[in-house]
Amino acid sequence: MDPRRKPLPIAKRLPPATEKRVASTAAIAPAVKSTPPKAVAAKPPAAKPVATKAIPGAELAGRKPDHPYITAFAEYLRSEAHLADNTVAAYRRDLRKFYEWLAGRKPTKLGVKDLAEYAKWLHAKQLAPASLARHLISLKLFYRYLQLESITVDNPAELLGGQKLWQRIPQVLSAEQIERMLKAPLTQKTCRARDKAMLELLYATGCRASELVTLRLRDVHLDAGHCICRGKGDKERIVPLGQRAIEAVRIYLRDERPALAQGAAERGTDWLLLSRTGRRLRRERLWEIVKQYALEAGAHPDVSPHTLRHSFATHLLSGGADLRLVQEMLGHASIQTTQIYTHVDQTRLKAVHTKFHPRA
């Protein structure tokens, strides 16, 4: 690009899809407050904010529309960087925090000392180290995008130090706790087969919560004994299914899912796990269900769907599975991420120590 060329405003350089998104976002707030001309003239000014709060579930109710830079950056992450929707949503929330801290200042006018103050501001909010690290990554990616679009020349965020994270041993459940947890749905009166199939799939596949709730009927091949999971970056992987998981899914598809699908707004929905209203089961609801059955099984209250994923990997390795195969089933990009599970199983470590240490 010619350095003498003056950068165009962001609104003139957005792709058509992004322009529509920005235009629709900016049009939401006025649309919410719009009333017939006569009614506006008759009502006092104090009545205007009431209309905004009256719309339940409106995404922008209670806050201002996103800055055009945030909207354009999110569209770039989704369409060009091909990041998962959950990742894009997390980065978008981080940038809203950044613009809250900016308080009207322009990001292109800041230096590394200013951004260091932003890091202090985040730290004062007592964020977890992992959350603080993600905020800084979001900031670096955002400034890199501004450079790419010739909105700014320098990238002061690159000079910020990253938040170093200690490697933590993941929490896992024993085989006995898993067995009690998988039997817990049998005492329920409603959605018993669905919850049983959901827990069996979590432990049989090691799927993330977001991967499980986005499974479709065409992704589950019961006769072949496997399912197709879509992980981060929409990467697909084939994960085998055990006999118990296959049987639980068959019972759910035969006995419960047809009745749940009747309440769906759109007929012929092909999501595997449905809510009581026939919609796709939300990830948050899946977390709630897992915690409910964990408490019934006498497990730790901090148990989550990811705990079953950790347990899946740890039990495979303790049974003698190859580390590379576990990495493939979990969908890890790096083998180092999977290696943490080799430190969880104390029985395996003791066996290795006894076999190879000269004084064991």
DSSP 253-285: HHHTHHHHHTT-SSTT--BSSB-TTSSBPPHHH
d(CA 43, CA 97) in angstroms, rounded, equals 35
Q: Are both 209 and 318 inside the same structural domain?
A: yes
Tell me the per-residue pLDDT of 245-257, one tens digit each, with 9 for 90 and over.
999 999 999 999 9
Q: Which stretch of DSSP H or E encloses residue 237?
A: strand 236-240
d(CA 319, CA 25) in angstroms, rounded, equals 52
Q: Are both 44 and 187 inside the same structural domain?
A: no
**Mean pLDDT lowest among 40-44, 241-245, 330-334:** 40-44
Q: Are both 38 and 187 inside the same structural domain?
A: no
Q: If pLDDT is split at 50, 70 and 90, which confidence band does 341 have?
A: confident
Q: Which stretch of DSSP H or E encloses residue 131?
A: helix 129-148
d(CA 340, CA 119) in angstroms, rounded, equals 29
Do the bridges between strand 236-240 and strand 220-221 make them parallel or antiparallel, or are there none, so unpaired?
A: unpaired
Residue range 156-169: mean pLDDT, rounded: 70
d(CA 336, CA 354) in angstroms, rounded, equals 25
The predicted structure's pLDDT at residue 28: 36
| Phi-psi group of 166: left, alpha or beta (phi > 0 → left; psi -120 to 50 → alpha; rest → beta) | beta
Q: If pLDDT is split at 50, 70 and 90, which confidence band does 359 have?
A: confident
Domain hosting residue 37, numbered range: 10-159
Q: Are both 154 and 20 inside the same structural domain?
A: yes
In 3D, which of 310, 296, 298, 302 has the Cα closest to residue 338?
Answer: 310
Q: Are both 130 and 247 inside the same structural domain?
A: no
Residue range 154-161: mean pLDDT, rounded: 84
The predicted structure's pLDDT at residue 75: 93
The predicted structure's pLDDT at residue 58: 34
Q: Are both 325 and 186 inside the same structural domain?
A: yes
Q: What angle do CA 34, 19, 235 make, to 5 degrees?
A: 115
Is residue 152 assigned to a domain? yes
Q: Average model confidence (pLDDT) for the chain?
A: 79
- Examine the fold and report which residue of 128, 159, 190 is the final residue of a domain before the chain moves on: 159
The predicted structure's pLDDT at residue 165: 52
Tell me the per-residue pLDDT of 173-205, one tens digit each, with 9 for 90 and over.
888 999 999 988 877 778 899 999 999 999 999
Give percent above pLDDT 70 in the chain.
Answer: 77
pLDDT at position 23 over 50: no
In 3D, which of 261, 262, 285 has the Cα closest to residue 272?
Answer: 261
| Phi-psi group of 270: left, alpha or beta (phi > 0 → left; psi -120 to 50 → alpha; rest → beta) | alpha
Residue range 159-178: mean pLDDT, rounded: 75
CATH assignment at residue 272: 1.10.443.10
The label of the residue with tokens 């709730």 reads 213
How many CB atoms within 10 Å of residue 242?
A: 14
- Examine the fold and report which residue of 125, 159, 193 is the final residue of a domain before the chain moves on: 159
Q: If pLDDT is split at 50, 70 and 90, which confidence band does 8 have?
A: very low
Residue 118: strand, helix, or coil: helix
**Mean pLDDT lowest among 56-70, 143-157, 259-273:** 56-70
Tell me the per-residue pLDDT of 97-114, one tens digit each, with 9 for 90 and over.
999 999 989 999 999 899
Q: Are both 184 and 325 inside the same structural domain?
A: yes
How many CB atoms within 10 Å of residue 178?
A: 20
Strand partners, 274: 280
Residue 163: strand, helix, or coil: coil
pLDDT at position 63 over 80: no
Q: Are both 33 and 146 inside the same structural domain?
A: yes
Residue 4: strand, helix, or coil: coil
- Examine the fold and report which residue of 130, 159, 188 is the final residue of a domain before the chain moves on: 159
Which residues are marked as active site? 208, 232, 306, 309, 332, 341
- Amino acid in position 286: L
